[in-house]
Structure 1
Amino acid sequence: MSRKIPSTAALVCFEAAARHESFTKAAQELSLTQSAVCRQIASLEEFLNVELFRRSRRGVKLTEPGLSYSRRVATQLDAVERDTLSVMGQQGANVIELAVVPTFGTQWLLPRLKDFQTRHPEVTVNLTNRTRPFLFADTTFDAAIYFGDADWSGTQSHRLMGENPLPVCSPALLGTKASLSADDIAQLPLLQQSTRPYAWRQWFNAQNLNIHRDMTGPRYELFSMLAQAAMHEMGIALIPPFLIQRELEEGRLIIANPHALSSIKAYYLMIPERKVESASLHAFRDWLVNEAARYTLEHE
């Protein structure tokens, strides 16, 4: 069955004309004549049986359906352009499209990725931020690094490391104290991580405390945001030390209490079953698992 899709040329002309609200400027941008742009848009309106522009002596203006359609068309054309440039750039190379939780990718993976590139120059690893699980079938990702329990249907999991966050804050919050007790911490603004909503409750419970306000406080999706908020004296946060090594070394953040929050959850490399035989992913998996094991051994 044939698809109900207008010509690409008509869509490109429409997107440019909608962006400029001018057939003349669209024609200049696309190196076409104004009459050619008019014909393409007229054919699109005929195809849709919808008026996209109102014409007047002063020019053209998008109709409500035209405005709505232009936004969706622009998004889809941008996506097609990105995919096209990606294919052009690969030129037959072995490429791994990796979804990764942001702060882990920035603070732990990227500083080590040059070693993998040196060992496997034939493989390119592209990173895209994803904070939550998704369906591999709905994306172009070849693998993902995420924090959880490895319960991800249709995938093969490889444990990398635990998290073990500690209470950290700006040195200014400690004042003259060397550290803070759990009771002291309970009196401070608690910075919350939106993907770990019960973290503070679990931490306080492990100290045999029941704090009524353990889930209150501003919420941030990324550990990098938590770290920034803590450095600016907005409160105290539970953050894995390996994600804030530089901040700890430079004294911009300090560990306020030595008790870590233990969890059965961990960082995992997830590979969809349809990709497990990929030679590139085999190489990346072996390298990543070894790097994680070495790091864990060095910091136990």
Structure 2
Amino acid sequence: MRARRFIPSLSQLLAFEAVVRHQSVTIAAKEMNLTQSTVTRLLQNLEGQIGQPLFVRERKRLVPTDAAKAYCADVSAALNMIQRASMGLMTNPDGGALSLAVLPTFGTRWLAPRLAPFLQANPGITVNLATRVQRFSFDTESFDAVIFFGQANWLRANHMKLFDEHLTACASPDFLRRHPISTAAELANLPLLQLETRPTAWSAWFEGQGANPPAKSGMLMDQFSMMIQAAISGLGIALLPDYLAWAEIAEGRLRPVLRPSVSGAGSYWLAWPEAKDRYGPLRAFRNWMAQTEAPEEVTA
């Protein structure tokens, strides 16, 4: 059994989190649709239960202590988890919800267009998607699984490999008319668009071309969608995974540069916390992903 004295009421925790976030009882009370005196009483009761002060008063403002800030981070994560669980139950009471963190462009350009067959085959399951670029901990984020790029090294998680990444350098037709390219060495003085999460991608591409990468680089971006648009606008050469390059090449917005489909430096993985290994919606999603074909390589 859980010790009740270590579990404050939900009203106390909501009031505490709101006051820490706003550093104002007045704003927190308005957000919660309560009176200021009620919020103040909830804070006092929480401090009494915890056994130590959580705020200091400075110029009529409540300033959380360092211990309170750390406590609030854990409380906020727990409240988010409760909210996600409640939303999942409310939206799908007879099935289950799968909360999945995905890379932004991967989610919109590859995963989302393929989800319909999975949902049709599993009518009781709701899939909730949220984008994450940086790594996070399953201990503080209430996701059931994550799709990420790199190596199978997510902390305290099980992994399933989805597919390897293959890279194709692409530029707009107008850019290539202005800068004809017949050898890798000719890229030395051209802007090579960079992605924050792929610091070694261009090195892998040049190695695949049998050449050394130049020291000069181009604009740095945090998402492939921005890189694609920059390349279409003629700002430089984009290095894209094949599943993204295919559509742009097929529609004539971009053209491949030199040898296409060079092996990249990582793979796409599905990872999930060990405690979720037998969770029904996640098991169904893993089985479906295992049968989903990897993207085709660019061949021209």
TM-score w.r.t. length of structure 2 = 0.74
Q: By how many angstroms is 1:188 displaced?
A: 0.6
Tell me, which stretches of 5 or more residues in structure 1 are unaligned? Answer: none
1:208-237 alpha-carbon deviations (Å, 9 max, x no partner)? 3334416x4333232223223322333212
Sort the Cα spacing of 1:82 and 1:292 in 2 relative to 1 into closer, same or farther, 3 A.
Answer: same
Q: Which residue of 1 aligns with 2:204?
A: 202
The equivalent of 2:62 in structure 1 is: 62
1:141/1:40 Cα in 2 relative to 1: closer, same or farther (>3 Å)? Answer: closer
Quote the offset at 1:120 in angstroms: 1.4
1:141 aligns with one of 140, 143, 165: 143
Tell which deviates more after alignment, 192-201 or 272-281. 272-281
Match of 1:235 in 2: 236
* 1:175 aligned residue: 177
**How many angstroms does 1:132 deviate by?**
5.6
The match for 2:53 is 49
Q: Looking at CA atoms only, which structure, 1 or 2, has the larger radius of gyration? A: 1
Once the two structures are TM-superposed, the CA of residue 241 in structure 1 deviates from its matched residue by 3.0
Cα drift, residue 166 of structure 1: 0.9
Paired letter, 2:232: M
Secondary structure of 1:160's aligned partner:
strand
Question: 1:259, 1:112 → 2: CA distance?
Answer: 25
For 1:269 and 1:35, how far apart are their aligned partners in 2?
A: 48
- Secondary structure class of the residue paired with 1:195: coil
Distance in 2 separating the partners of 1:274 and 1:155? 10
Asked if the contact 2:54–2:64 (Cα under 8 Å) also holds between the matched residues in 1, the reply is no
Residue number in structure 2 paired with 1:261: 262
Asked whether the 8 Å contact 2:17–2:72 carries over to 1, the reply is no
Question: Which moved further from structure 2: 281-290 or 180-189?
Answer: 281-290
d(CA) in 2 for partners of 1:6, 1:29 = 20
Deviation at 1:117, TM superposition (A): 1.0
The 8 Å contact of residues 168 and 236 in structure 1, kept in 2 or not, is answered as yes
- Contact kept? 1:156, 1:272, Cα under 8 Å: no
Total equivalences in the alignment: 292
What is the CA–CA distance in structure 1 between the aligned matches of 2:273 and 2:15, rounded to whole Å? Answer: 39
CA shift in 2, pair 1:116/1:11, >3 Å = closer
Q: 1:288 aligns to what SS in structure 2?
A: helix
Distance 2:86 2:173 in 1: 49
Q: Secondary structure at the match of 1:121?
A: coil
* Superposition map of 1:187-198 within 5 A: 187-198=189-200
- Amino acid corresponding to residue 223 of structure 1 in structure 2: F
**SS of match in other structure, 1:128:** strand
Residue 82 of structure 1: CA displacement?
Answer: 4.5
Identity %: 36
Aligned to 1:155: 158
Partner deviation per Cα, 1:62-90 (whole Å, 9 max, x = no partner)? 34749x85994794586254554344334
C-alpha distance in 1, partners of 2:127/2:153? 24
> What TM-score, normalized to structure 1?
0.74
Deviation of the 1:123 alpha carbon? 1.6
- 2:275 and 2:40 map into 1 onto residues whose CA distance is 47
**Residues 1:222 and 2:235 are matched in the alignment:** no
CA distance in 2, matches of 1:273, 1:142: 10
Q: Is the 8 A contact 1:168 1:237 kept in 2?
A: yes
Residues 133, 252 of structure 1: alpha-carbon distance in 2 compared, 3 angstrom cutoff: same
